[in-house]
Amino acid sequence: MNDPARFHLLLCAGGCCLSSGMASVRTALAAALAAHGLAEQVRVTATGCMGLCAQGPLLVVNPDGVCYCRLQAADMAELVRGHLVGGQVVERLLCPDPLTGAPVRALGDLDFYRRQRKVVLRNCGVVDPASLAEYEGRGGYQALRQALGKMTPAQVVEEVSHSGLRGRGGAGFPTGLKWAAVAKEPATPKYVVGNADEGDPGAFMDRSLLEGDPYSLIEAMTICGYAVGARQGYVYVRAEYPLAIERLEAAVATALAAGRLGPDIFGSGFGFTMAVRTGAGAFVCGEETALLHSIEGRRGEPHPKPPFPTAKGLFDQPTVLNNVETFANVPYILRHGAEQYRALGTRQSPGTKIFALAGNVVNNGLVEVPMGMSLREIVFDIGGGIPGGKMFKAVQIGGAAGGCLPIEQLDTPVTYEALPKAGAMMGSGGLLVLDEDTCMVDLARYFLEFLQEESCGKCTPCRLGIKAMRDILERICGGEGEEGDIGKLELLSDYLAQSALCGLGQAAPNNLLSTLRHFRVEYEEHIRRKHCRAGVCPALAPARAAGEEAR
Amino acid sequence: MSVHLTIDRIPVEVPEGTTLLEAARAAGVTVPTLCHVPGVASPGTCRVCVVEVEGMRTLQPACLAEAREGLVVRTASRRARESRRLTVELLLAAHGGDCPSCARNGACDLQRLAESLGIRELRFPLPHRETPPDRSTPALERDMRKCILCRRCVAVCAEIQGVGILAPCGRGLATEIVPGGETELANTLCVQCGQCSLVCPVGAIAERDDVPRVWAALDDPAKTVIVQTAPAIRAALGECFGLPPGSRVTGRMVTALRRLGFNAVFDTDFGADLTIMEEGSELLERLRRTLAGGEPAALPLFTSCSPGWINWLEQYAPELIPNLSTCKSPQQMFGAIAKTWYAQKTGVKPENLVVVSIMPCTAKKYECVREEMCASGVRDVDIVLTTRELGRMIAEAGIDFLHLPDGPMDAPLGISTGAADVFANTGGVMEAALRTVYELVTGRELPLPKLHVLPVMGLAGVKEAAVTLTGVLPEWSFLEGVTLKVAVAHGLANAREVCAAVRAGNPQGWHFIEIMCCPGGCIGGGGQPRPVDQAVREARIRAIYEEDEGRPLRKSHLNPAVQALYREFLGRPLGPLSHQLLHTHYHDRRPAEPFPPPANIPPPAATNSPR
């Protein structure tokens, strides 16, 4: 290597760090480096999300492996002078250990990272997302070379099937089955579609992947195209992700120029190309049939299945539609083999899962854990527990279609089997930690408000049923709840689950139902005693001290 | 391949691909629905037809779910019933408008369903839409406050008519069915065929109500009010009074109209016979120019009776206007003759003569107000009522329709032939034209059983026939041995296909093409009684052919009143007065923006030249 640089600085340019001031930090860093004449000796790379969003903006100094956090532009002169010139770690800018408060030098020394297992996020926060060379330097495109050079399409499908990979969009459908279904369809052309219409409140797994490691998606979709016999891919990204779109489009262009996409990839004779399509802000376009309609230029709303997209998908052709995170597992599976992949996670839910950890938790951020880890470990060991000495109340998992689990269920492992049994679901990876100041009725009201506004309006149950439920909850939260309201909510919930056209409507009552199951007393307090114990609902009497009886 | 399943414990065997809705019907079980329209891909929106299928987690929409081997289906299980009731309850709660003052009161699918499900309480108050009604077109009124978003209109407009003007806009509760992205129908390329009004389950889309204008005319002592009835009315009006589809009520209809106070009851059939004289002559003239004169003539010739089709051609395929017959429709021919010849004969000033039409069609309401339709110097046809409006008017007047005695049409404009009756059916204009053209050219009757041109009868979307002319009379010698090739299409999606073939150089060598805007022809028109499905269309078609076959005269050129009209007034078909009164020009009515013509189509002529 003839890189003259003595230091390699990684700046987190994920969405969170950018929004907490990374741009000005970066400008100040450049100025400080120039002032010390270090521009030549210090290589600076803007990476994707490093994960510990709560402590951003983050900067890692390599080769020392020292991580600085919560940086401000004004800190940069001291950091450059002290560490890069003087060789001394700037203690005051290190991350504090959430338990002891003692400064921690390397990210890996934090429990937050030690307990994670980065498979899908392996490159995120490490490489320059624009650099194909860096991607390949870390093993990128080995999987595709291996598939094209040594494997038949059927063997690729077999390997993915054998890995046990399941759809990370939330439903957990076996990916191998989906690929096999498209592979056996005689109709051509076929399509590969990546779903990056991530819309659950607080979720940013797909965004981080696209911003931090776009080539892994491109490689995976190319592998999928080879496996199922498709030559064209589309990635459907929500318009609210301009940076992800920009980086993905740049990566597609680079991959095309480098022959990683195009008519003859690696001289194999296999051709595949892809394009980015942008959504227009509708949550329902994350539903697969609605998404395909939207790509086709039609109104983004679902149609009933069957026919399934595997038989009649995009432009009525056989189509593999997988979530971005699902795809990003594929290169790892091919490189390391299904067996090694299956060693991660549980038997029925192999691999890892990314979660966007948010809410009342110390370490807000992006985490990747092996399946089967308990919610308790995620919330308390990785997440660092509840800030401000507050009591844990619930964890909301699975996004708008998910549910809330109370403290008694914190030992539930995150798997596709255990979470629904507990009354929640895996979902796409939103994980919201709620403390004692959360009103569970208000939370259910919030999710129904969100879903009512996002309902496409096509079918009656979703269009009118969710509105009716929301109105009841608004009344309850407004102090006008009546006896019988809970029964009405349960009636409507049952109705939606059975009769709505698509998953959005069918799963819409989930959060409500889980709060009714685990926090029913709060509903009864709202309705009968006009009391909101969390003090959230403004129309209701403020919270009373524990044990105090209502008059 | 057939599959076996049980529906409500009844074993049924149905062909593979049958929906559960159809399978249930085969088992004698009615599953209600508010969004399904037979013959159109079901929108699957209303969820009224959900049924329980053993082993499935969710309820299945019967209109979409396919029957499969071994399925155990329960259409009225507790789950299915409760879901259906809740759906209807919610739809009612969100449904604006006041039932007693709604045009559909008593004939509303939602109301009927709510009644049959015994819904007595609305537990969930829901907001109503506040959009004011759209009365921008003369034909249709749209009231989105009453819309239940079933999308039947959307499906019919796109699939049956291939027009696709109506589409959902907005999301969730804010969704509205909006024409062409505009707020008003008149600003769009809507052809005003009214097929949407035929399928709307509630009062959200209806014909413009012109009944009050007719009452006003009848109440005005200074006016002489005459009425013409289109052939399709007599096979459908009875349905407004509970008679089965296809009941022939010509005589009762005439009596009812007389009792309503019309000064004379006439027949659009007269105009239809006249149309055959003019259009048949026009066809022969174009053939003569090409075959005898070697001049180019715009062939194939398209019929021009159906105003929805005229609107479509002017807006979507104006380059084919030269091929369109310059003949006005029978309604407008009738109006022009009524306000000239008839007015002169009776000594009524045209401005005091009110011509009312009873039409199966909403587009006729538009046609009569076209600026060209004042050949007599005043409006040729003053007011158009649909079949449905006439039904309401008769009911309002307290006339016991079912027990009326038959009455005869008045002379002379009520005199007609069976050839005019069949104008109501798809293929009918073609058959009527061939009956006359063949006989004019050969001197012999069209040599077909019962004078029916079998290949152009029935409900196939595009039909073709060929008639070889031999032994022609001397003046038609250029037609000797010529095989006349004709085509018939109904429903604008089918018309679009035929037009595409004509644009592509007419490889079939068609000479004459009949197009009717609505499926089945006028008997399935947008102004006819609801509901309309294939069985209803077939029943009405059958009734019309019976009407024709029962007539002493079944060829337009034998109509004595039409003969008298030519003798006394017009002179000859295609003569100068015919040209003035019975023919017109059609226009390119494509908007300048935003629909540029496809590149492969030659620029359209501004108007067609008469012959």
The pLDDT tens digits for A159-205 are 999 999 999 988 899 999 999 999 999 999 999 999 999 988 888 99
What distances in angstroms separate CA B441 from CA A476, B237, B275, one per listed residue? 84, 37, 18
Whether residue A544 lies inside any domain: the answer is no
- By the CB < 8 Å criterion, does B126 face chain A? yes
Domain boundary among A303, A321, A342: A342
Task: Say if the Cβ atoms of A461 and B47 lie within 8 Å.
Answer: yes
Could you report the per-residue pLDDT of B291-301, keeping only the tens digit for each? 988 888 899 99
ipTM for the assembly: 0.91
What is the distance between the alpha carbons of residues A311 and B526, in angstroms, rounded to a whole number? 37
Minimal-distance CA residue of chain B relative to A461 = B87
> Are A273 and A401 found together in one domain?
no
**Domain at B211-270+331-403: CATH code:** 3.40.50.1780
**Domain at B97-206: CATH code:** 3.30.70.20
- By the CB < 8 Å criterion, does B50 face chain A? yes
Domain boundary among A393, A410, A434: A434
State the best of A287, A450, A463, A470 to mutate against chain B, taking most chain B CBs within 10 Å: A463
* Residue B490 pLDDT class (50, 70, 90 cuts): very high
Chain A residues with CB-CB distance to B90 below 8 A:
460-461, 464-465, 468
How many angstroms away from the CA of B82 is the closest CA of chain A? 8
Residues of chain B with CATH 3.40.950.10: 275-326+418-582
Report the pLDDT averaged over residues A462-481.
97
Whether residue A548 lies inside any domain: the answer is no
Chain A residues with CB-CB distance to B31 below 8 A:
none
Could you report the per-residue pLDDT of A425-464, keeping only the tens digit for each? 998 899 999 999 999 999 999 999 999 999 999 999 999 9
Whether residue A545 lies inside any domain: the answer is no
What distances in angstroms separate CA A45 from CA A7, A54, A140, B370, one per listed residue? 11, 21, 18, 71
Q: How many domains does chain A have?
A: 4
- By the CB < 8 Å criterion, does B411 face chain A? no
> Are A142 and A250 found together in one domain?
yes
Q: Per-residue pLDDT for A136 more than 70? A: yes
Element containing residue B178 per DSSP (H, E): strand B176-179
Structure tokens at B119: 């819904």
* Architecture of the domain whose range is B275-326+418-582: 3-Layer(aba) Sandwich (3.40)
B205-207 and B140-142 beta bridge pairing: antiparallel
Residues of chain B with CATH 3.40.50.1780: 211-270+331-403
* Residue A97 pLDDT class (50, 70, 90 cuts): confident
Beta-carbon-side half-sphere exposure of residue B585 (alpha carbons within 13 Å)? 11
- By the CB < 8 Å criterion, does B416 face chain A? no
Report the pLDDT averaged over residues A35-52.
92
Beta-carbon-side half-sphere exposure of residue A495 (alpha carbons within 13 Å)? 28
Task: Say if the Cβ atoms of B47 and A501 lie within 8 Å.
Answer: yes
Whether residue A103 lies inside any domain: the answer is yes
Q: Which residue has the higher pLDDT, B283 or A40?
A: B283
Task: Say if the Cβ atoms of B149 and A506 lie within 8 Å.
Answer: no
Q: Per-residue pLDDT for B355 more than 60? A: yes
Task: Say if the Cβ atoms of A499 and B126 lie within 8 Å.
Answer: no
Label residues B365-378 b or e (16+ Cβ within 10 Å = b).
Answer: bbbbebeebebbeb
* Residue A544 pLDDT class (50, 70, 90 cuts): low
> Are A383 and A267 found together in one domain?
no
Bridge partners (DSSP) listed for residue B13: B4
Partner-chain residue, chosen from B50, B90, B151, that has the shortest CB–CB distance to A468: B90
Could you report the per-residue pLDDT of B364-384, keeping only the tens digit for each? 999 999 999 999 999 999 999
Chain B residues with CB-CB distance to A465 below 8 A:
86, 90
Partner-chain residue, chosen from B45, B167, B170, that has the shortest CB–CB distance to A459: B45
Minimal-distance CA residue of chain B relative to A457 = B172
CATH topology of domain B2-90: Ubiquitin-like (UB roll) (3.10.20)
Phi, psi of A57 (to 5 degrees): -70, 145
pLDDT at position A542: 61
> Are A106 and A233 found together in one domain?
no
CATH number where A464 lies: 1.20.1440.230
CATH number where A357 lies: 3.10.20.600
- Would you say A52 and A365 are in contact if contact means Cβ atoms under 8 Å apart? yes
Share of residues in chain A with pLDDT > 70 (%):
97
Task: Say if the Cβ atoms of B171 and A456 lie within 8 Å.
Answer: yes
pLDDT at position A541: 67
Minimal-distance CA residue of chain A relative to B176 = A457
> Are A293 and A388 found together in one domain?
no
pLDDT at position A419: 93
What distances in angstroms separate CA A36 from CA A78, A80, A81, B169, one per listed residue? 11, 8, 8, 60
Closest CA to B232 of B258, B268, B265, B266: B268
A365-370 and A319-323 beta bridge pairing: unpaired
| CB-based contacts of A380, cutoff 8 Å, min separation 6 | none
Q: Which of A284-298, B342-356, B585-599 comes out lowest in average pLDDT?
A: B585-599
Give the helix, strand, coil percentages of chain B, each rounded to 5.
40, 15, 45
Task: Say if the Cβ atoms of A455 and B83 lie within 8 Å.
Answer: no
Task: Say if the Cβ atoms of A456 and B83 lie within 8 Å.
Answer: no
**Residues of B designated as active site:** 279, 282, 305, 325, 364, 367, 372, 522
CATH number where A49 lies: 3.40.30.10
* Structural domain for A137, as ranges: 132-342
Task: Say if the Cβ atoms of A456 and B125 lie within 8 Å.
Answer: no
Nearest-10 Cα torsion for A485, A491, A493, A495: -150
- By the CB < 8 Å criterion, does B171 face chain A? yes
> Are A160 and A260 found together in one domain?
yes
Partner-chain residue, chosen from B43, B126, B171, that has the shortest CB–CB distance to A468: B126
State the best of B56, B86, B92 to mutate against chain A, taking most chain A CBs within 10 Å: B86
